[in-house]
Amino acid sequence: MPGKNKQLFRYLEQQITRLLAKKYSCLILGPRQVGKTTLINKALSGLKNKVEYFLQNPAERQELEANPGRIIRRIEAEPRPPYVFVDEAQKVPEIFDAAQYLIDKRAAQFIFTGSSARKLRRSGVNLLPGRIKRYYLDPLTWGELGLLRGSTIRQLNIDNINKSTSFSFEDSLVFGSLPGIVSLPEKERRDFLRSYAEIYLEEEIRAEALSRKVGAFSRFLELAAVESGGNPNFSKLSNESGASQPAIKDFYKILEDTLIVERVDPLLKNARKRILSTPRYYFFDIGARNSLSRFPLSPGLVNAQKGTLFEHAVILEIIRRIRALNKNYKVCYWRTAGGAEVDCVIDAGDEFIPIEIKDSPYATRSDLLGLKSFLVDYKKFARHGYVVTLGGKKEKLEKNITAVPWFEL
């Protein structure tokens, strides 16, 4: 990938630093190019007793594939227990068996990164339950880009950890927020995203043995990116891609397992009305979505797709913030058979937080209909609703509904 990543603080840094100090091992999952390797290199910088395996490197990967047990002999030769960093661990999943042996002997502390839960699960690999802590690293949040001016929803309260950069909110709607994008000139941002899309497509086709379906998968990927955030029409996708409907569903599963899409399910808990039950899929990064859709990566895209892009941005920010805060919340949407709808509902376990998303500075009364219906139907679980707007000021619209500009979410 072209360009240099600007070093930005990440919310996960402090958690990883504390974890290493307590001698725990960890697995950090996340899509390609979100900064996993950079994060761990930073955490381990200055430490002398470390051993590193970068499995994107064919020589290192082939060495461990031929003899995964070699890592045991390598670590046991160390004078004291080292930190062992294994980057892209899913490429040699057998390494987890060796890691379990060494962790149980207190002979090493492991830090794994990975970008495909599918490959790990499909290999039947031992993911060391109880022995390692799992984390997830996303593209940059608004707080990591220094874009926030406050935080209104208590359950999502978070602060800026970087000063604002020259990378604006409008930039993020076109180019997304992968760390490598932020410091690049505009033309190089386009090249970066085009390269990202091509590399993902090539590697997943190879990894999933899809060579006979390369055309169908490639067409599906473009169509799925265009439809990102909506309820997928499997029949339409099948007709336009040339793949069967079962294949389309499997393709979505591949995207989900390789962390390229976020699956948002409907809220079915305690439903009093008939609820639509199909999931929605949001591509993990707006820039990757725009590039895979073959849309022109220019400011004009924001005007043409303002509503879609803004909703996408808010949904992704909520998902990322929940992970950064290490909360066990679930992001859902709500839509009844009668047409009442709320774009996002945070299921916090004992409480629901409904959020409507509007691509205008101010909310109108008609924008509140879905929220009002939800607050009536779920009055035991939902005390307050919110409308996230594209600008304007925070404003109380009803006794239990508040409008919030995106930068004060």
**pLDDT value at position 3?**
40
**pLDDT value at position 72?**
94
Sheet of 341-347, strand order: 280-283, 261-266, 330-335, 341-347, 352-358, 385-389, 401-405, 395-398
The DSSP bridge pattern shows strands 261-266 and 280-283 to be antiparallel
Instruction: Return the SS3 of 146.
Output: coil
Lookup: tokens for 73: 């002999």
The CATH class of the 12-136 domain is alpha beta
**pLDDT value at position 209?**
53
For the chain, list residues with pLDDT below 50: 1-5, 124
Scan for tokens 């509904």, then name that residue: 401
The domain locations on the chain are 12-136, 154-408
**pLDDT value at position 281?**
97
**pLDDT value at position 47?**
85
Helix count and strand count (H, E) for the chain: 16, 13
Q: What is the DSSP letter of 350?
A: S
Please give the C-alpha separations between residue 235 and each of 151, 215, 241, 243, in angstroms, as whole numbers.
41, 18, 10, 10
**pLDDT value at position 129?**
65
